[in-house]
Structure formats: structure tokens, C-alpha cells
Amino acid sequence: MINYSYTILIPLIPFIVFLFTGLTGHRMKPVVSGIIGSAGLGIAAILSYYTAWQYFWHSHVAGSAYVPVKAFEVTWLRLNENLVINLGSLLDPISVMMLIVITTVSLMVHIYSIGYMKGERGYHRFFSFLSLFSFSMLGLVLATNIFQMYIFWELVGVSSFLLIGFYYEKPSAVAASKKAFIVTRFADLGFLIGILMLSFTTKTFDFISLTSPGGPAIASAGGATFLGFSVLVWSLIFIFMGGAGKSAMFPLHIWLPDAMEGPTPVSALIHAATMVVAGVYLVARLFPVFALGAPDALHVVAWVGGFSSLFAAVIACTQTDIKRVLAYSTMSQIGYMMLALGVSGYGGHEGLGFMASNWHLFTHAFFKSLLFLGAGAVIHAVHSNDMRDMGGLRKYLPVTHITFLIACFAIAGVPGFSGFFSKDEILSAAFEHNRVLFFIEYAVAGITAFYMFRLYYNIFWAKETHYHHTPHEAPYIMTIPLMILAFGSVFAGYLPFSHLVTSDGLPFAAHINWSVAIPSIIIALAGIGVATFMYMKTNGLPDKIANAIPHFYKWAYHKFYFDEIYLFVTKKIIFRYISTPIAWFDRHIVDGTMNGIAGLTQLTSNSIKDFQSGRLQQYGFVFVSGAVALALIFIFLW
Amino acid sequence: MRHELLLTALALVVLIIDLMLKPGQKNAIIPITIILFALHTIAGFLPAQPGELFGSMYRTDALHVMMKNILNVGVLIILLQSVTWLHKDENREKMAEYFIILLSTLIGMYFMISSGDFLMFYLGLELATVPMTALAAYRHHETKSAEAGIKLLLSSALSSGILLFGLSLVYGSTGSIYYNDVAASFSQTPMQVLAFIFFFAGMAFKISLVPFHLWTADVYEGSPVNVTSYLSVISKGAASFILIIILYIVFHSITFLWKDLVYIIAILTMTIGNLFALRQKNMKRFLAFSSIAQAGFILLGIIAGSKTGMTSVIYFVLVYIFSNLGAFGVVSAISNATGKENMDDYDGLYHTNPKLSLLMMLSVFSLAGIPPVAGFFGKFFLFTSAASAGYYWLVFIAVLNATISLYYYLLVVKAMFINKNEAPIASFKSDMATRIALIMCTLGLFAIGFWGQLYELINNLSIGILN
């Protein structure tokens, strides 16, 4: 038995850094707080790599299953004999994989931000929030039980609220951070209900006993039913609601595009690689329960994922804010991951979707954070988010250009780049289990290639716009992280993932399924081709196409009016038809009646009218009538 | 009996010392009282024998002692928070009165908690209520404060009347006022249902449950801040303790009836409290309505009817003491320093008074139930206990309400941290006592959540409905 207890340091170091820079940051030179933050994350990253090496290779007997290891655990609350809440860290293939993803991307973002945030007010505040976020996210993935996960889940929400609202002087940033917080809180309501239901049917919070194939959760699958589903299915659907909120799945996606108001490195960290995939991680974490105990819940996951990926991809084609294009692209890619989990079975080759989903999570983290950081470098150079203000930048930003292109190839699924391998496994898994979703994903693959290259050409090719001053390449502190991530975007596809991260811990052999892969390559290249034709040189074609389908284009451009629908429901329906009538009733009926009574009393008791406010009688009246009404109800009606 | 005797002695000692002090030295009464009360609080934790007195009119065991100790801690914080305010010129005259009145209401609450029959209960109730009106009208030269006092007096007279009517029906139908006898012979005849509902209405008035809550906002707004926090935290906490004990011990034969009643009242209270809190602009009124909504959550633990239910109620009240006193402490500090009590006045507070703003943020986060602050655990245990009794829809509504409440709690945070203000409240320094009180609240907000044994400790003493 190897001692992994040092892994507790991985989340703890960012936390200490957060406290330190948060409390003393304003006394030091700004750049020092950035260096301290990066150094802390660097140590956490080294420890994570060491953990991964030890877990996957050093302590592992080739061919045997990877078993979950509790590196550290303390009892925190003892609710009763069976329901105990612990705090600890759990190591298994997916949590170790997430450690690598989080620390790597976070480290890159820290280093990049030293350059990007230069001269911003609240520099040290930014870095202390980044460390807080990293701590929460690491605590989330290491959670040994669902309750601990929930606590860190909320902490992640709080820290992302702080980061999105970092430019708190900008009203739109404040509105966006509030929106993100409230929408995800609403989703977390489902999560909490799901946790309560799950823990009461299974009598445990612990992930290991929940997910062991003979464990209480899976054994309870045949229990009482409600509306045709067992309690277990309902609880998992509620839990998935929490995951869908964090992962911006339809219809809880509305916060993600607005969250782009935050600083760009934050988008790269939170909205590309870490927080938004927490929902995928949650489903993957409970995967055996889903697959063995509640396949119905898994269908929900698959369809929500599949629909979101298509929905977001269509919107992405019409947006002109480069960060919003990337935001919708993220939503679409996470839809892919959810779908892959949804179509997966448990064990061996059946679990292909599970493996593919985690693999795509891994590769996506690299290329999507690279795209965001690249977009950040572009925004840094031209001081605009809108692709119509860009064009011809390849001459001015050579490093950004090449790394961005690599990421575009990776996300489009061009052979040789990481995205190709992971996407191919997802498509194969969908092909084997659900043909409808499989064809949807083919379409999404083509649309993805199209909108990514639309973005690419509009930024780096097309007609050069007139710039106020010549754009210049970002400093090395920003371009070096780009290069490192570009390296990952290419080579993350060559890892033997099916030997490391599988649904049951046992390695299996996954091959590229060429009958699925070749059409997908053709579709991707077709998407790129169309984009090249339309956008490489500025011409009238895009407008013509938009004008040919005006309604659909406008509809998609306005994100299918989802924000408006939500506003309508909250403002018009809830406020107008529920709150306003209550207020009206209160003001007119209650007060009116009472004023009448009070008026009558005032007439008869002029001598003491100054002493009586009139309203006290109203209070007494309500009190007595309340008591009498309750008495009547309970004596005669009940 | 030690709690009651010590506190009575303490109140008398304060009275006598105040008489002996010369006019120039009157201020000395403040530290003397606080130190004596702190000693009293500590003494409360010494081991005590369970037992009965006066033919089981009075009874005490570890559960009662724990409840009293929880109240003591809260009162200690309030006394510390009152120091600055008492030093003001217009309050100097009556410092000793403030302490004596406040302590006598606390004695009343002790007796209510330890009561073994309805007579003792009623005596305690009146002792806890009547002096309260004097406190609410403490600044009687101010119209609002005088109005608050008279409103509290009249509406509590009404509620006592109804409650007493209910108790007389209890006596009439069962022939006894002892809890044990009543419990043994109570059934579901219409007269007894009426008796129970009138009793419940009286208690609902104390906890300010809808529709018996109307007095709350006016009285809270008119009273001095420290009195408001005493009313909304200590008075409400004590009444919740007593209600749960009596429901579990005395009315266990009509559990099915009061559970339905509590169900309705819980939904009404949470929802209406929340809807009104949304509209408030005055901080005290805002906290008043939000405390109504909080009382609705307490009912979730009561309705569970189990040992976990009682544990979660006691735990929640403990957490609530720290969170609400934290919030009131900040409001009181600001009100004392500047006289400002509106939410708009808090715009940009973070830039001038960061520490107060942070504590305020933690307190409202705790009230809203955001982890990792203690309030989250309080709510969570209430929800689990109701869910384990099968009240899924009620829990669902409660969670929905908790989410709504987040909105208005965040408004306060937004005002302090985000809203711009040309002339925010200037920075000021609080005195030592206020600081100690606020530090206690901050520590409590974290310590209670993370000190797991505390929950077990309460759970070991709690009881469920007797069968």
C-alpha cells in the first residue's frame, strides 16, 4: 500500500496562497502576487504529475484493475450510524486525470495572466481569486463523498462569481456574474434534492460504496416508483440537473455566454477546462450507479447532451463576438462529452463511451483553453472582442496565429491532432448505441469545423481593417503558455487512454474505427472547406446566405431568444402574475378592509384616535381571524 | 434551578449596585453586569443534576440546561453589542433598568423551558413578555420607540388572552394542567382541537409565524437595535425550544393534527416572509421579515417529529443566533456611529469599513445558507430531518424559498461591495466590547459548521415524540 497522503497538499497549497495573497497582497508589488500564485500552482502541478505517475504506472500491476484509493479521510459529522459525512481525498483514474487537467491549465492561466492583467486595478485580488478557484475545483474532484463534493461545488460557484464579476465597475460584468450565480444556484437546488433522495435510499454518501457494482445504490434500483421511475432514477435526474447547470447544458446554458464578461484568462480556466466540465465529472463519478442502476437517467443525459451540442453549434455560427463563439463551442463540446457518457455501458468495451468522454474532456481542456488564451492575445492586441474589427492579423501575431490554428485543427477533428482521436471514440460509441444521436453528432462535427474556421479566417485572414495603432504580438509570458498548450493539443491524443481511464478500472484495447472515422474526416474537411470559401477573402457570400434564410439566421443570432424567454417568465409571469397581485391584494384588499374598520373605529372613538394608529387593530383582527379560521378548518373540514 | 437562582440574584445585585453608585460613576454598572453575566454563562456549563421541584411544576435535565446555555451565549453577545449604545447621553440615565429588564425576561424564558405544567409555562411567558414592552419603548421620548412598545404590549396582551383561553379549555377538558396528565388524556374532541389551536396561535405569535406575525415589522423597526436583535433572536429561539418540547411531550396524541397545521403554517411563513422581505429598504425591517422566513424553516425540523428533528431545530437556533447577531451587530454598530439604517446608506461600505462588510457578508451568507458558513448546515439538517419524515414537497418548497431568499440577501452584499456611492459611510472604529461581540459571531459562524461533535452532542440530548 503506497502512502498517498501527500495529495492533500494539492488543494491545500492554492488555499494557503489564496489566504496569503488575499491578506497581504495589497502590500506587495503587483507582479509578486502573480509570481507567488504561479509558484503555488506550479508545486501543486508537480505533485499532481507525481501522483499520476505513481498511481498509473509506478504502483500499478500491468493488466490489473485500477482501484480507488482513499488517500486521506477524516470523519466530520456523524448524522447517525449509517450516515456519516467525511472529508478526504479520493484517488481513482478520473480524479487523477482531473488533477492533471486542472493544475496544468490553471498553471498556464496563472503565468499568462501575469502578462495579460498587467496594469489592471486589483491585480492581487485577481490572483487570490484564481487560487481560491483552483483550491475549490481541486477539492471538488478529490471529494470522497457526494456531500463534500457539494460543498466544494458551491465554493466553485462562489469563486467563479467573484471572477466573472472581477470588473465590478462594468454593470454588464456584474449582471453576468449574478446571472451565472443564480442560474447555477437554481440548478444546485436540484442537486441538493438529488443528494437527499440518493442518500436516503442508499444510506450512504460515500462514492466508493455508492459506485461499487454490488453496493447499496445499485441494489436499491428496484425500489418504489414515482411516475414510472424509481426513486434512484429521480434522484440521479435531479443530481444531473445540478451537473447540467454547471456544465451549461440546455436549457440551463444561458449564463455561459454572458459569463464571457469576465477577464479572458478566467474564461480559459473556468469556462473551458475546469468548472464547466464539473457536470461531466459528476456524472462520470456516479457512472456505475447511472449505468447499472438507472439506465433511464442515462438516456436523459444522452439526449440533453446531444441536443445541447447541436443547439450551441448552430448559434456559434452566427455570433460575432469571438469569446461568445468560443463559449457556444464549449457548450457544444461538453454536449459531446455528456452524450458519450449517456450512450456508454459499463465494463470493458461496452464502456467505450465513458472512456471517450473522459478522453475528450482531457483533450478539450488543452485546445479550448488554448483557443481562449489565443483569443485573449488577439483582444489584447486590437482592444475589441468583435471579429468585424479584426482581419489579417496573421502578419502581426505569428505565434498566436500558429497556436490558434493548431487548436482549430484539434477541435475540428483533423487527423493527427488530439481532438480527432477522442472525438472518433465518441462517435464510435454513439454509432454502437444510438444511431439518431450518432447522425446528429456527425452534423455537429461538420458545423464545428465550419464555425471554428469562420472564426479563424475572420481574425487572421480576410480583409485587414484599419487599426488605430499597429497590433503587436503578446509578450513571451503570454506566448509561452500558448506554445505549451499547443503541444498538449497535438499530443494528448496519443496517450493510451483506454488503458488508463475506463468505466470499471480494467484496461481494454480501443482502436480507431475507420468506417466511422473516414466519413467524419470528410465532414470536418468539408466544413473547413466551406469556411475557407466563404471567409478566407472578404466577399459578399456570407451576407447572401444569411439573407437567404433571414428568419432562421436572425433566430439563431439571437440565441433562439432564450434569454428573452427566461426574462419573460421571470419578469412578466412571476413578477406580474404572482408578486404584483399579492402586493395589490395587500395594498388594496387587506389595507382597504382594515382602513375601513379602522375608520369606523376612529369615528366612534375620536377621543383616543391620536393614540390609535389604526393598524394595531388590523393586526389584532388578522390574529384573531387567523386563529378562528384555523380552528374552523381543523374542527369541521379536516 | 441553578440557572434561575443565579440569574435572579444577578439581577438583584445589579439593582443594588446601581443604587449604591454615585451619579458620576454610573457607567461602572456596564462592565460589572457584563462580567457577572459572563461568569453566569460559564457557570451554566458546569454539570447539573436533573430533577423536579414543586410537585413537578418545574423540571430540569441536560436538554433544558443546554437550551438555556445556548440562550445565555446569545444574550452575552447582545449585552456586549449594547455597550456603545448605552454610553450615549440620552440612555445613560437608565442603564441599570436596561440590564434588569432584559435579565428578567431571560428568567421568564428559563422558566418556560423548564416548565412541567401550563401554569409555570404561563408565568414564564408573561415574565418574558411584559418587561419586553418596556424595553421596546426604552426610548419613549421617540415616537417610534413608544409606538413599538405600545404595539407590542397590546398585541401580546391579545395573544396571551387567546393562549390563556386555550389553556383554560385544556384544563376544562382534561381536568389537569400538568404536562404528563394532559398528555395522557388529550384526544381529538372539537373542544380540545380548539384549545390546541388557541395555544398554538399564542406560541406562533411569539415566534412570529404567519398569520400571527403582523406586529413584528413595526415593533422591530421602532425598537432600539439591540432590543430588536434580542426579540428576533433570543425571544424567538426560546419560544421555538418551548414549542417543540410541548408539541413533542404534551400533544403527542394529536401528532397527525399538529403536523398538518405546522405544514400549512410553515409554507405560509416561509413564502410570505420572503415575499415581504423582498420589498424592504430599512435594514431592521428587512432583517425582521427575513427572520420571519427563517422561523418558517424552523418548523421543518419540528414537523419531523423525530430525535433528528429536535436536534436540527436546536442546532439551527444556535447557528441562527450567531448569524443574526452578526448581521444585527453590524447594523447596530453603524446605527450607533452614524444613525443610518437604510440599505442605500450601505452602498460602498466595503471601501470604508471592509471588516464590518465582510462580517455582514458572512452573516447574510449564513442566513441564506451558503456553504461553508454554519447557516448552510443548519438549513441542511432541517431539510434532512423533514425529508427523512417523508415531507418531500415541503422540503422542495423550502429549498425553493431558500433560493428566493438568496436574492435579497445578495442585495445587501451588492450594496456593500458593488454599488457606487459618492459619499459612503465614513470609516469608524468600534469600541472593545462591540469588537469582542463581532469576533465571537465570526468565530461562531465558522466553528459551529466545522465542529462536527457539536451536532452529536445535541443529538445525544434530544428527544423525539414519545409513543
Distance (Å, rounded) from C-alpha A425 to C-alpha A423? Answer: 5
Composition of chain B by helix, strand, coil, percent to 5: 80, 0, 20
Q: Which of A155, A622, A635 minimises the CB distance to B194?
A: A635
Distance (Å, rounded) from C-alpha B231 to C-alpha B162? Answer: 21
Report pLDDT for A580. Answer: 60
| pLDDT band at B450; cut points 50, 70, 90 | confident
Report pLDDT for A608. Answer: 33
Q: What is the ipTM of this complex?
A: 0.78
Q: Which of B215, B407, B452 minimises the CB distance to A77?
A: B452
Asked if B151's CB is within 8 angstroms of A78's CB, the reply is no
Report pLDDT for A81. Answer: 65
Average pLDDT score over residue span B342-356: 83
Is the pLDDT score of B366 beyond 50? yes
Highest mean pLDDT among A325-329, A459-463, B74-78, B146-150: B74-78
Contact between residue A492 and residue A362 where contact means Cβ atoms under 8 Å apart: yes
Strand A84-91, strand B58-60: pairing:
unpaired
Asked if A178's CB is within 8 angstroms of B410's CB, the reply is yes
Provide the H-helix boundaries in A434-574: 435-460, 476-491, 514-535, 541-548, 550-557, 562-567
Taking all residues of chain B, what is their mean pLDDT, rounded to a whole number?
A: 86
Distance (Å, rounded) from C-alpha A350 to C-alpha B241? Answer: 56
End-to-end CA distance of chain B: 28
The residues near A3 (Cβ < 8 Å, ≥ 6 apart) are none
Distance (Å, rounded) from C-alpha B250 to C-alpha B187? Answer: 11
Report pLDDT for A607. Answer: 35
Q: Which residue of A has its CA nearest to B162?
A: A624
Provide the H-helix boundaries in A203-230: 207-211, 216-219
Distance (Å, rounded) from C-alpha A484 to C-alpha A478? Answer: 11
Point out the least confidently predicted range of A77-91, B103-117, B346-360. A77-91
- Of B101 and B428, more confident: B101
3-state secondary structure of A87: strand
Residue of B218, B272, B380, B406 for testing the chain A interface, max A β-carbons within 10 Å: B380
Distance (Å, rounded) from C-alpha A70 to C-alpha B231? Answer: 48
Q: Which residues of A41-73 are buried (b: 16+ CB within 10 A; e: fewer)?
A: bbbbbebbeebbebbbeeeeeeeeebebbbbbb
Q: Which residues of B398-412 are buried (b: 16+ CB within 10 A; e: fewer)?
A: bbebbbbbbebbbbb
Q: If 0-12 CB within 10 Å is exposed, 13-18 middle and 19+ buried, where does residue A221 land?
A: middle
Asked if A196's CB is within 8 angstroms of B395's CB, the reply is yes
Report pLDDT for A605. Answer: 40
Please name which of A120, A55, A119 lies closest in space to residue A93, comparing C-alpha atoms: A55
Containing A329, the helix (H) or strand (E) segment is helix A322-342
Average pLDDT score over residue span B229-244: 91
Distance (Å) from the alpha carbon of B227 to chain A's nearest alpha carbon:
20
pLDDT profile of chain A (638 residues), mean per 10: 79 87 77 86 90 82 76 73 76 88 90 84 82 90 87 85 78 78 82 83 79 71 62 84 86 81 84 86 87 83 89 83 88 89 81 86 90 88 80 81 88 86 85 83 87 85 73 82 87 81 78 81 85 74 69 67 63 57 58 54 40 59 80 77
Report the phi/psi class of residue A64: left, alpha or beta, with left for phi > 0 and alpha for psi in -120 to 50: beta
- Of B220 and A224, more confident: B220
Report pLDDT for B237. Answer: 92
Contact between residue A262 and residue A372 where contact means Cβ atoms under 8 Å apart: no
Report pLDDT for A602. Answer: 46
Point out the least confidently predicted range of B95-99, B147-151, B220-224, B421-425. B421-425
Please name which of B462, B466, B467 lies closest in space to residue B62, comparing C-alpha atoms: B462
Give residue-wise pLDDT tens across range B28-44. Answer: 888 888 999 999 999 88
Report pLDDT for A612. Answer: 35
User: How large is the greatest C-alpha to C-alpha distance in chain A, in angstroms?
Assistant: 97
Report pLDDT for B318. Answer: 92
Distance (Å, rounded) from C-alpha A360 to C-alpha A94? Answer: 12
Q: Which of B212, B377, B388 minimises the CB distance to A626?
A: B212
Average pLDDT score over residue span B284-289: 82
Q: Helix A398-412 crosses helix A435-460 at what angle (to 10 degrees)?
A: 170
Q: Which of B154, B197, B370 minimises the CB distance to A630?
A: B197
Is the pLDDT score of B212 beyond 60? yes
- Cell numbers standing for residue B104: 428578567
Q: Which of A189, A618, A634 minimises the CB distance to B261?
A: A634
End-to-end CA distance of chain A: 63
Distance (Å, rounded) from C-alpha B445 to C-alpha B62? Answer: 24
Asked if B212's CB is within 8 angstroms of A627's CB, the reply is yes
Asked if A638's CB is within 8 angstroms of B197's CB, the reply is no
Report pLDDT for A609. Answer: 34
> B-chain residues within 8 Å CB-CB of A181?
410
Distance (Å) from the alpha carbon of B453 to chain A's nearest alpha carbon:
7
> A-chain residues within 8 Å CB-CB of B255?
none
Average pLDDT score over residue span B150-157: 88
Q: Which residues of B208-237 are buried (b: 16+ CB within 10 A; e: fewer)?
A: bbbbbbbbbbbbbbbbbbbbbbbbbbbbbb
Report pLDDT for A589. Answer: 59
* pTM, rounded to two decimals: 0.63
Report pLDDT for B122. Answer: 93
Residue of A23, A616, A621 for testing the chain B interface, max B β-carbons within 10 Å: A616
3-state secondary structure of B6: helix
Q: What are the Cα distances from residue A506, in Å, to A221, A290, A351, A391, B467?
A: 24, 18, 10, 49, 53
- Cell numbers standing for residue B316: 439551527
Give A184's Cβ-side CA count (13 Å radius). Answer: 27
**DSSP classification of residue A434:** -
Amino acid letter at A284? A
> A-chain residues within 8 Å CB-CB of B410?
178, 181
